[in-house]
Amino acid sequence: MTGQYTREYWQSALDAATLNGRMFINGGFEDAADGTTFVRIRPMDGKPGGTFARGKAVDIDRAVAAARAAFESGVWRKKDPAEKKRILLKWADLIRENREELALLETIDVGKPVMASLNVDVALAANCIQYYAELCDKLYDEVAPTGPNDRAIVRKVPLGVIGAITPWNYPLIIDSWKLGPALAAGNSVVLKPAEQSSLSAIRIAELASQAGLPDGVLNIVTGYGEEAGQALARHMDVDMIAFTGSTEVGKLIMGYAAQSNLKRVALELGGKSPIVVFADADLDAAASAAAWGCFYNAGETCHASTRLLAERSIMDELISKIEEVTAREITLGHPFEPSAQIGALIEDAHLEKVLGMIEAGEKEGSKRAFGAEKVMAETGGSYMSPGVFVAKSNSDSLARNEIFGPVLTAIAFDGEEEALKLANDTNYGLAGAVFTSDMGKAHRVSEGIHAGTVWINTYDISSLATPFGGFKQSGFGRDRSVHAIDKYCDYKTIWQRFG
């Protein structure tokens, strides 16, 4: 039900909105030290969005100094765990109270349907902060086995200052995946959101402060990756970088850490996830999962089901069913239209990159089954229709490279052995799925796919209770679940000898 949420409703909200693009450092809003700014162009209509402070190394220095001072003072890390919980729960409440504003900000930046921003992105971000809030007073340390005259306490202690660098596809969700566990563990954070999507990060930092998070514990520095991002990852007083983004930049981040202070690194990177469909599967269910798994969020999803591995005998039928589901359910439209299921791509440059990859793929011999064209150009926005290509083999560029648009590449296979070989013939290992009515086969293939999450007869079901992340060049370290706390802490032994 969309009720009051008509296109006009959101347009009036946009007309009335003031977009705050200033950095949030030590509890207050700040401009870049050199006063420079940049303007974000809205993907929904090509018009100017927010104007943002263009943070650089000197601004990162200010934010890291504030984070370090807050950490050393103990104002957050030494707080009674029940009080920490109360503050983080209040923050989750404030995110919910301000959900319409946050949804609008997310859609202005990213171009995704505002109803998805409201019901998915904002809702999941609030749930995530709540999940980690509730853990604050439920984590225990250990007492190691020792002789009778000794006592060794193994404490889990926060690392210190965490640098978080996040992408533009699910800004609120991914920011909350970093902030929830990092803050629950007692760290301070400097977050550098993607230059395309800073509005929601700035606003939730303000809400955290309103909830009672002490000054300096959470800081937001806006700016470009090569400037603010690199300065954060190279900083000598940052203890860890929690990064989500492309594999290419993930490799740079590891280099920066090695060249500076050997800070820890956790990387959530790209994917080219296989969805393996056997002839004995429920093809309607498989088609729906493949279409939604690949095209949701205009295909800008790291774990999107972008490689359809179909048993040869059902390949054509499956693609027809995917086309039907796409036409029937996955409505493309202006992000304020209540009926829109997918909206714009993040920006024109990205749209052109996706179209360029398609052109190269077609030259290599991949065949278009349907869609994948630039549309709605008259709106000034960056839109393309979802589409499917059939590759000659898993070696074609459309089958190998992360496209990050609504483009699914289908590859035929014969038998279980080949299916598994093709599924794992990729540099990535973020997710995968298998569709079959044979539970033995489902078990063997799901065990065999080398990926952080493998679904059986479904796609993209998840919860905060399960860890999320990848193998191979999809990175390492896990977001979500109790395990995410681990990467923001380390063990410290306190050994006492009696007598």
Residues that bind ligand NAD (CB under 6 A): 165-169, 174, 192, 194-195, 225-226, 229-230, 233, 244-246, 249, 252, 268-271, 302, 402, 404, 430, 470, 474-475
Extract the tokens encoding 228.
Answer: 């603010």
Instruction: Compute the chain's Rg from CA coordinates.
Output: 23
Q: Which residue, 195 or 206, is less far from ligand NAD as judged by CB?
A: 195
Strand, coil or helix: 455: strand
With contact defined as beta carbons under 8 Å apart, do 343 and 113 qualify? yes
Distance of CA 38 to the CA centre of its chain: 23
Give the DSSP letter of residue 379: G
- The residue sitting closest to ligand NAD, measured at its beta carbon, is 225
Q: Which residue, 47 or 251, is less far from ligand NAD as judged by CB?
A: 251
Contacts of 277 (CB under 8 A, 6+ apart): 283, 286, 290, 308, 309, 310, 311, 314, 318, 435, 436
Tell the burial category of 20 from Cβ atoms under 10 Å away from its Cβ (0-12, 13-18, 19+). Answer: middle
Taking the C-alpha atoms of residue 429 and residue 418, their distance in angstroms, rounded to an integer, is 18
Extract the tokens encoding 430.
Answer: 């973020």
For the CB of residue 237, give the shortest distance to ligand NAD in the complex, in Å: 17
- Tell which residue, 491, 446, 494, 468, has the closest CA to residue 177: 468
With contact defined as beta carbons under 8 Å apart, do 239 and 160 qualify? yes
DSSP character string of 91-144: HHHHHHHTHHHHHHHHHHHH---HHHIIIIIIHHHHHHHHHHHHHTTS---EEE
For the CB of residue 268, give the shortest distance to ligand NAD in the complex, in Å: 3
Taking the C-alpha atoms of residue 354 and residue 312, their distance in angstroms, rounded to an integer, is 27
Contacts of 489 (CB under 8 A, 6+ apart): 156, 157, 158, 159, 185
402 is catalytic: no
Distance of CA 294 to the CA centre of its chain: 15
- Tell which residue, 230, 297, 232, 281, has the closest CA to residue 441: 281
Candidates 128, 136, 294, 302; catalytic one:
302
For the CB of residue 233, give the shortest distance to ligand NAD in the complex, in Å: 5
Q: Give the Cβ contact number of residue 365 at 10 Å.
A: 12
Candidates 268, 337, 347, 416; catalytic one:
268
268 is catalytic: yes
Start-end of H helices in 345-437: 348-364, 397-400, 415-424
Q: Which residue, 30 or 402, is less far from ligand NAD as judged by CB?
A: 402
Q: Give the Cβ contact number of residue 463 at 10 Å.
A: 11
Catalytic center residues: 268, 302
